[in-house]
Structure 1
Amino acid sequence: MSPLDPDLRERAAALDAADPLARWREEFVLDPDVVAYLDGNSLGRLPRRTQERLASFVREEWGGRLIRGWSEGWVDLPVVVGDAVGTLVGAAPGQTIVADSTSVCLAKALHAAVGLVPERSTLVVNAADFPTDRYLARRVAADRRLEVVEVHPSDPSGLSADDVGAVLDDRTAVVLLSLVDYRIGSLLDLADVTARVHAAGAVVVWDLCHSVGVVPTDLDAAGADLAVGCTYKYLNGGPGAPAFLYAASRHHPHLDQPLPGWWSADDLFAMADEHRPAAGIRRMLTGTPPVPGIVAVQEGVALATEVGVAAARAKSELLTAFAIEALDGMGLEVVTPRDPARRGSHVTVRLPDARRATVQLTARGVVPDFREPDLLRLGLAPLTTSFRELLAGLEVLADVAGS
């Protein structure tokens, strides 16, 4: 194990001094006991404005207005905040909702996607994708009598558009893919992959959990079909915050989701015997939305919008490049792609017993994440991670990895 280059301290200080996003760090609650928080790709820090908004909501809206709050704006929150999320992922208004967990949104999106191509017989999923994505793909395939086809990365640097294209044929109904690989941070080309899926006559469902807010994304321009994503990572919506679901407007008349409820009906309060789905994106709702959670998401999304995804991406590329250079100098094995166009906002290294290293790092005030069996993830959140904070974490990592 090699020590860190001493020149990195000076460079980190210079990068922080030149960082146009540096002032946003003070917009978040910063725990003085944390040396380096490097897990923003799992749970983002708490925005100070969210503290204030939730306190106001509890006191004035819930406490002061009670059920009248529904007619004073709560009813519209899933779509209003959904449209705000849509601005971050290139979606025109009326195509995005915020409601339910990521898993529930993904299940709905997969069922609806299969219904768009009923004559097809296979569902494609990345063999290395997040477990829930694979579990749900198998469950939906079993329910809809489809065969699951797993696509395997042909290169250690992650799945490629060519890998996806190689498994597409005239049987392919739906392709489920994460834009950024949750393990190693590799990034797919959304437009290229979407075009290949459409050329095969199939539809694609995108998982944007590790990309929303830090990777410029234009769902409408790419012709995407459906997408889901969480809001508690780079959007700082809080633990377990409700997720979002996007469906292209061209598909709305044909979307048949598996969990119809009174919130997806064309007349919310008609209480009709037969379910008649709403004409637009509301048809993808189910039950009463979690208002406090959506309020928290609204604040995080507003903050991310003020900063801008392009600005966040520019800093993300600098942070990840700095981390990779330092890790290379330490002699650690970086498994994240070196090309910035091929990586998201986290950097992953391979370490023997990554679980043990994570426990030791956390005990010393450095909070990373790990994935079995030997991957240590460093999640770099552009709005809250400074270069000096990152370097402080890497210094502890050098000590732990060398012990």
Structure 2
Amino acid sequence: MTVARTVELEGHIIDSGTMGMCFGVVMDMGGEFEVEEFEVGRHKHAETYCRMRVMAETEEELRAILHELNQQGATVADPRDATLEAAPEDGVVPVEFYSTTNHPTYVRVDGEYVEVEDVEMDCALIVDRASPEDPQRVDDAESDDGTRVYTKVLNAVEEGDLVVTGETGIRVEPPERPRNGGGSFGFMQGGVSSERPSASLIEEIADEMREVRENDGNVLVVCGPAIVHSGGRNALADIVRAGYIDGLSAGNGFAVHDLERDLYGTSLGVDTESLEHPRKGHKHHIYTISEIARLGGIEAAVDEGIIDEGVMYECIENDVPYVLAGSIRDDGPLPDTITDSIEAQNAIREQAQEADIVLMLSTLLHSVAVGNCLPSTTKTVCVDINPATVTQLLDRGSAQAIGMVTDIGTFIPMLRDELLE
């Protein structure tokens, strides 16, 4: 017996490719569809509407198809309130919980759509029917009666939390192509190419950073150790000092090599100017960790005058908050490095939710980690000499990222010159 549901698509669904992707999803998953109504937007700002009936052999197959269509922005027609089920215990969600995308999302509760706070991929949706007097409620994302809907990572779910299950009552709005034509940041133009016009794209990135600063926005930079190895450290320090960076996210390695460069003039034991290997240079990174630990941390080392240049120095001097997330491979690590992975995730998540534009500079693992926390509306630039870094970021769901395949030691000085000229 065939089962069916009707879904609706609305917006610039033709030129953005949404309609074609939805048709493909149904067919690829073994279903069938029938377009019941189709109204094409006939001028630049007009939206297109499509209503289609989706059919499958079983209820389970239909649910799977509807889930994929929902991720593309399709909404079940004649919507009902979202289905809510209490979490059975801490860290455990109901079996058919709704797993989020990173797109703006709305959940229908008590007949009203409520915007989801802190949108992030791969989370559960929690509904909190808070009273209007609740001091914890968030005024710009709640319904008139004080109801809130927000994301939680699975390990943070508490027993009794009302978790959204199934696909009913959920509306997802993927970003669409802007009608003014836009530029590289205009629409999900993620892609990897070494043929991009680097100078013009860097100019556009600089313009975006200026605009963010003028509007009291937030620029987050995600840093890999290659910045120091390749000679981009001083240029990045200049950008931080000039006030264009509002937060820094990195691993233990980046901070260690930046500090090593100040203390010993080397990065991983190699003189970044002469490319020579000083005697005992291979021990400089561990000596650096020991010295910073002896002083009590990076800020203490700056206060003592031991560290007087570099990216971490400028972060301390200019009150730029940073998160150093540890890994199983870290030497030391530095006292400032967060070694608890859940604590580090939460710190990164807080940074990511505040960012208006993110620069991911030559670090695969950290770029993916931060990218997983970003809404699809956050402008993202990923720069790496290895195309696979950008590809993996895009494959993990950060489709809004612009990829630049270039040497980071060339990119950062060019960006510095563009910003500060």
> Under a length normalisation based on structure 1, what TM-score does the superposition of the two structures give?
0.29
Considering Cα pairs closer than 8 Å and 6+ residues apart, tell me whether 1 or 2 has the greater RCO: 1
Which of the two has higher C-alpha Rg? Answer: 2
> Under a length normalisation based on structure 2, what TM-score does the superposition of the two structures give?
0.28
Question: Which structure has the highest helix share of the two?
Answer: 1
Question: Which structure has the highest strand share of the two?
Answer: 2
